Amino acid sequence: MWRIMGQIYYGNKEEFVVPGKKMFDKEKIVAFLNEEGIALGDVAKAVVRENGDSSDLHLKVLETIDLEKVLADAPLLRTVVVTGEKACVALCENLGAGKLKAGQSAEVQVAGRKVVLWRLVSSSRAYPLAFDKKVEIYRRAYRKIR
């Protein structure tokens, strides 16, 4: 994800990488998130990995976040972006919203408040889509969100 964000915002996929190391610069990422007004969190509060591996294919979401509480705690929040089908399906089911395809958005009502929900593709290197195509999907969404 940080390579995608670096490419979108700075034209440099290595923007958040610590030079000479295989790790991301947490302080730089936090400063970026604060500057852009972006918050991060998980959709799932409780999951079971049915195969014991990291693949979402065999991931069962038992409980999702309480988006009403999140909105109450974040009065300026107006857009929620989920990356990947599993997260989107779990959240949409929780909200009673329809199914979204990658790159699509929908306006939903949560606790009497309008929120735009976006579904983007997984940023994982394991997700079979070229980096440039992922960047373009994210770029289109972030242009509309700003």
Predicted local confidence at residue 24, as pLDDT: 97
Question: Taking the complete model, does pTM exceed 0.75, yes or no?
Answer: yes
Q: What whole-number distance in Å separates Cα of residue 96 and Cα of residue 94?
A: 6
User: What is the rounded CA–CA span in Å between residue 93 and residue 98?
Assistant: 8
Q: Taking a C-beta distance cutoff of 8 angstroms, is the pair 91, 80 a contact?
A: yes
pLDDT grade for 64, boundaries at 50, 70 and 90: confident
Single-letter code of the amino acid located at 1 = M
Please state, rounded to an integer, the average pLDDT across all residues of the chain. Answer: 88
According to the 3-state scheme, what is the secondary structure of 34-50?
A: HHHCCCCCCCEEEEEEC
CB-side neighbour CA atoms (13 Å) of 45: 7
Q: What count of residues does the chain have?
A: 146
pLDDT in tens, 73-128: 888 888 988 887 778 888 787 777 778 888 888 888 888 889 898 889 888 887 88
Highest mean pLDDT among 5-9, 58-62, 94-98, 107-111: 5-9
Written as six digits, the tokens of 63 are 């409980």
Q: Which candidate, 15, 65, 66, 14, places its Cα nearest to that of 36?
A: 15
* Boundaries of every domain in the chain: 1-38, 66-145
Under 8 Å between Cβ of 141 and 105: yes
Distances (CA, A) of 109 to 41, 71, 78, 83: 20, 11, 11, 20
Given the structure tokens 């979401």, which residue do they identify? 61
CATH fold group of domain 66-145: 2,3-Dihydroxybiphenyl 1,2-Dioxygenase; domain 1 (3.10.180)
Q: What percent of the chain has pLDDT over 90?
A: 32
The two three-digit tokens of residue 84, written as one number? 């990947």
**Residue 26: what pLDDT?**
97
What confidence category does residue 32 fall into, taking pLDDT thresholds of 50, 70 and 90? Answer: very high
pLDDT at residue 128, as a whole number: 85
Percentage of the chain exceeding pLDDT 70? 99
